[in-house]
Structure 1
């Protein structure tokens, strides 16, 4: 407290310190509060000031604090220094609990353990009791905004109620209690937090009796403003608190003057449920109870681990504290050189090229688990280690299922056994399922011009008898084109000049066989020449290139004698791949020309 002319304050103190003695029972004796310190019960962000951040739902924090104040009340008069209260040792018990994320309940009880000063009984001042109970405070806080929920800042409103249960003669009680509305605003910037705490302490005016020597002194309501800057996200954290008061009563009254305190402190997380802390600082000003300096040490139990914001590392990121790999992306739990944030096996040492995992193949499909999207199911590389799709769930993958939308047995290639033409040949092997035929002609009624028991429709050499294993051609002739129900099967590929719709001369012998088969099978009404590209380049360019290549093949066939009306050119670009487009072999297979037979309905 400020040293200087203290006439008003001495009269004020003389009355307060004599409360409880025989002559202090006169009407009008004031109960004078000396303690100015209140804790932040939840201690979220700051030990002393509210930051707008509340405890997470369901968490409880209990704190015990020991405090030493040096010279909270000193009177200097006519060059003589009188320590009314030269030192004070007190303890604070505080607790906070949040039933919901947006609501926090708090309570704190200060206790005077020891206080003492100069013996001024010769001047009419009775020394206050050595110990006693101070004013208990109950509080509630409501947090409409929270950074933990993605808002821009932490904002909370609160109210504290001081109960008049303190020791009056010990300078520890507010007569009638007090009410303190409070507004708290704070924001975290990475490892740093700033906050502002504004309070208005409302209490009735405390007045001293007239003194024959000194004028009357008064203590009343005041505004309390605090600011804090603190570090966050670390096991050892620091904070700087600045707390000031401005009286709402007579500012000329020395007992009710301005004051400001500066406190620097640190706090250390011992384990998940225990924290220790210490603060110290100096006070400046004339307000009652402003010490020359104060020191504090304390311990907290319960919910003492500060929560983390989305994307932040936990304060538990220390080798001797329990945490998960997800909480600490910048640590390396298994010491394999791969940080938790990118380690797919964070609790087992692995290699960098396998994203922190060891080489394993749980399902035995030849694809190691680190690269297998389905590590417990046998799959294919084309599907990233997963089984091929099976839309009808009949156990036959779509790419070999002749009826992918209808369940059927594997021996029937995924189709239900059917015989639409009632020729006792099942549709899945009947090359003419809508026309009754003979088994030797694969279910078709067509004629066999060369008498080799292979229907003209499936005979690559319909005018020369041959064997079935040579697709109906004589032994001396190797067919380059074979026939199925709906398409030509080529033994080679139709080649082009790279990136051009120009036929490679090496493809002429293959295309000449296509001409031969078309001309020897007048029953084929329409042949579609379909050209396909891989997926490299722009889709529109691939579509144009494939169309131009299909036209080039059609034109070659027409030049060799095929009637134009029997041919149609279609370019599909990269829209119909038959193999994995992410591999060079897959892209090679996707670049192709196909010949489809179009039958009338």
Structure 2
């Protein structure tokens, strides 16, 4: 019996698998054979060797990826010679048996896509052992062989076929009828072994088909292997022999260990043995493990390091872009977007609020009402040509894009010019330097810049000097016909009876209105209203506050506000 020196898959059967480049393996095993040599003659049997204990030392090394060299030396430590021994005086201990050297060449390697591990090899048995102790042949022996194997999930099958070529002849010449002839033979071996676990089993069957007159035989050898660590393995074999071929024991027991590159190669679709050693390994090396603890084995888990939460593929529900749509259903998992767009964002390249799909000008910002295209504004006044009454002349929005009127051509537009018919400076509200305008035009009222409109105490009669400021009010209204209506509002403080004050202020407002009409302002552009103390401008607790509350205001009423606007506060 010879060991498989690389021990890939099986301890005694070649599987077509070789050590990786640079790996080595050194093995030593103790081996006991019971009645390995029995002579049969005329129906009688006698044990020439009733028991033999052998130490096997084997080594294998792979200098290249597909090349492996090996050798083994069997040492007979002790053997018992039986009554059928041909030489009762033969030595019984410390005998060198037949050393063997060999080479194996890998031809094919199984991949994830399929195939087989196939190798060829040749072993040479050197006839340097002890001949007196039945420990060698008469000359060298040769064993060319073909080995093939395949991983089938957690199992490995192998077939080893070889042709033993050795010197023929008989062990003894005492009787021509003794069945002790040796010669060439075909050696067949098969193996079935488990893979991917720290403790593995194997079942080996070895047989011999003679090519001479010697009888045939076969053996059944189950075994166990235990990986102590990535560099040390322990193993044991036990088996029974059937047949009368010389060297076939009634039973044999073998136990030993290996050192070096003892970690078996991980085959396609199987777990690495290292998974049982408690090492930190990537999930693909341990398909039968559940690294994330979600109840799904690594081999079936698409996310073996992330615990799944109910998903059949073992992956957690991920939403990378936080848009509420899980990644596996999100057409754009890295960009947030609404469910109506399958999680993809609304594309708006020009940032104008109009989606690119609806934007006629996706690279130029424009309002939605113009289908996302920019508005054309020839005069650059901020009003599109479609809404601009004067598209080629800049003007303010209140004039619908038309330029400001300037009757006196002094550069001050009419709406700011208090002297529309006389050239002046902007700093003087458009009036000539020798005139000081006492009124300015605001958006919703006429602002008095001179003295306030004052009345005699408790009466509806204007004080002397008030006519100057009222003349300016009349002048501005005449020169600005665009002012549709001015509400003349009169107010008092809270001194006296409220109803009396309301009547007094109504009379005062009518006096001012009549004065402006007399100065040429059309009556339909003026309205008078007295408020009494109802709308104070300041506090009535102080003399200054009460003085501020006694006033006349000129509020400009636009279209649709006639008779409804309250005086300016």
- Summarize the Cα distance change of 1:381–1:139 in structure 2 as closer, same or farther, 3 Å threshold: farther
The reply on whether 1:188 has 2:137 as its aligned counterpart is no
- Summarize the Cα distance change of 1:41–1:447 in structure 2 as closer, same or farther, 3 Å threshold: closer
Deviation at 1:217, TM superposition (A): 6.6
Match of 1:131 in 2: 94
Match of 2:498 in 1: none
Match of 1:438 in 2: 379
Match of 1:43 in 2: 7
Deviation at 1:45, TM superposition (A): 2.3
Matches within 5 A, 1:164-243: 164-206=127-169, 219-243=182-206
Match of 2:417 in 1: none
Query: Relative contact order (C-alpha < 8 Å, sep 6+): which is higher?
Result: 1
1:470-518, CA deviations, whole angstroms, 9 ceiling, x for partnerless residues? xxxxxxxxxxxxxxxxxxxxxxxxxxxxxxxxxxxxxxxxxxxxxxxxx
- Summarize the Cα distance change of 1:82–1:346 in structure 2 as closer, same or farther, 3 Å threshold: same
1:154-189, CA deviations, whole angstroms, 9 ceiling, x for partnerless residues? 322111112233233332223332211101233333
Out of 218, 229, 238, the residue aligned to residue 260 of structure 1 is 218
Cα distance in 1 for residues equivalent to 2:30 and 2:382: 103
1:399-456, CA deviations, whole angstroms, 9 ceiling, x for partnerless residues? 4258xxxxxxxxxx989xxxxxxxxxxxx99755xxx9432257x8x5866348999x
Cα distance in 2 for residues equivalent to 1:57 and 1:49: 21
Deviation at 1:195, TM superposition (A): 2.6
Are the equivalent residues in 2 in contact too, given 1:359–1:369 (CA < 8 A)? no
Q: In angstroms, what is the RMSD of aligned CA positions?
A: 4.8
Are the equivalent residues in 1 in contact too, given 2:191–2:204 (CA < 8 A)? yes
- Summarize the Cα distance change of 1:119–1:368 in structure 2 as closer, same or farther, 3 Å threshold: farther
The reply on whether 1:312 has 2:276 as its aligned counterpart is no
Secondary structure at the residue paired with 2:271?
coil
Out of 355, 366, 389, the residue aligned to residue 450 of structure 1 is 389
Match of 1:424 in 2: none
Deviation at 1:68, TM superposition (A): 0.4
Match of 2:405 in 1: none
- Summarize the Cα distance change of 1:449–1:333 in structure 2 as closer, same or farther, 3 Å threshold: closer
Cα distance in 2 for residues equivalent to 1:129 and 1:246: 30
Gaps of 5+ in 1: 1-36, 390-396, 403-412, 416-427, 469-601
Are the equivalent residues in 2 in contact too, given 1:109–1:135 (CA < 8 A)? yes
1:533-576, CA deviations, whole angstroms, 9 ceiling, x for partnerless residues? xxxxxxxxxxxxxxxxxxxxxxxxxxxxxxxxxxxxxxxxxxxx
Secondary structure at the residue paired with 2:285?
coil
Are the equivalent residues in 2 in contact too, given 1:360–1:368 (CA < 8 A)? no
Match of 2:283 in 1: 325
Out of 336, 357, 365, the residue aligned to residue 380 of structure 1 is 336
Secondary structure at the residue paired with 1:326?
helix
Cα distance in 2 for residues equivalent to 1:358 and 1:193: 35
Secondary structure at the residue paired with 1:135?
coil
Are the equivalent residues in 2 in contact too, given 1:184–1:198 (CA < 8 A)? yes
Match of 1:298 in 2: 256
Count of equivalent residues? 384
Matches within 5 A, 1:27-38: 37-38=1-2
Out of 70, 87, 106, the residue aligned to residue 34 of structure 2 is 70
Secondary structure at the residue paired with 1:440?
coil
Out of 148, 157, 161, the residue aligned to residue 124 of structure 2 is 161
**Greater radius of gyration (CA):** 2
Cα distance in 2 for residues equivalent to 1:209 and 1:355: 71
- Summarize the Cα distance change of 1:311–1:86 in structure 2 as closer, same or farther, 3 Å threshold: closer
What is the TM-score of this pair, normalised by structure 1?
Answer: 0.53
- Summarize the Cα distance change of 1:98–1:130 in structure 2 as closer, same or farther, 3 Å threshold: same
More moved, 180-189 vs 228-237: 228-237
Match of 1:567 in 2: none
- Summarize the Cα distance change of 1:276–1:357 in structure 2 as closer, same or farther, 3 Å threshold: same
Match of 2:74 in 1: 110
Cα distance in 2 for residues equivalent to 1:379 and 1:191: 44
- Summarize the Cα distance change of 1:224–1:356 in structure 2 as closer, same or farther, 3 Å threshold: closer
Cα distance in 1 for residues equivalent to 2:91 and 2:324: 80
Deviation at 1:63, TM superposition (A): 1.9
Cα distance in 2 for residues equivalent to 1:226 and 1:68: 21
Deviation at 1:87, TM superposition (A): 0.9
Deviation at 1:305, TM superposition (A): 3.0
- Summarize the Cα distance change of 1:368–1:338 in structure 2 as closer, same or farther, 3 Å threshold: farther
Secondary structure at the residue paired with 1:147?
coil
The reply on whether 1:96 has 2:60 as its aligned counterpart is yes
Match of 2:446 in 1: none
- Summarize the Cα distance change of 1:448–1:224 in structure 2 as closer, same or farther, 3 Å threshold: closer
- Summarize the Cα distance change of 1:169–1:335 in structure 2 as closer, same or farther, 3 Å threshold: same
Cα distance in 2 for residues equivalent to 1:49 and 1:169: 29
Are the equivalent residues in 1 in contact too, given 2:203–2:223 (CA < 8 A)? yes
Deviation at 1:371, TM superposition (A): 4.4
Are the equivalent residues in 2 in contact too, given 1:120–1:126 (CA < 8 A)? no
Deviation at 1:64, TM superposition (A): 1.7
More moved, 108-117 vs 339-348: 339-348
- Summarize the Cα distance change of 1:96–1:337 in structure 2 as closer, same or farther, 3 Å threshold: same
Secondary structure at the residue paired with 1:112?
strand
Cα distance in 1 for residues equivalent to 2:315 and 2:176: 86
The reply on whether 1:400 has 2:400 as its aligned counterpart is no
Match of 1:152 in 2: 115
Cα distance in 2 for residues equivalent to 1:355 and 1:212: 75
Secondary structure at the residue paired with 2:124?
strand
- Summarize the Cα distance change of 1:356–1:204 in structure 2 as closer, same or farther, 3 Å threshold: closer
Cα distance in 2 for residues equivalent to 1:124 and 1:165: 19
Deviation at 1:60, TM superposition (A): 2.5
Match of 1:491 in 2: none
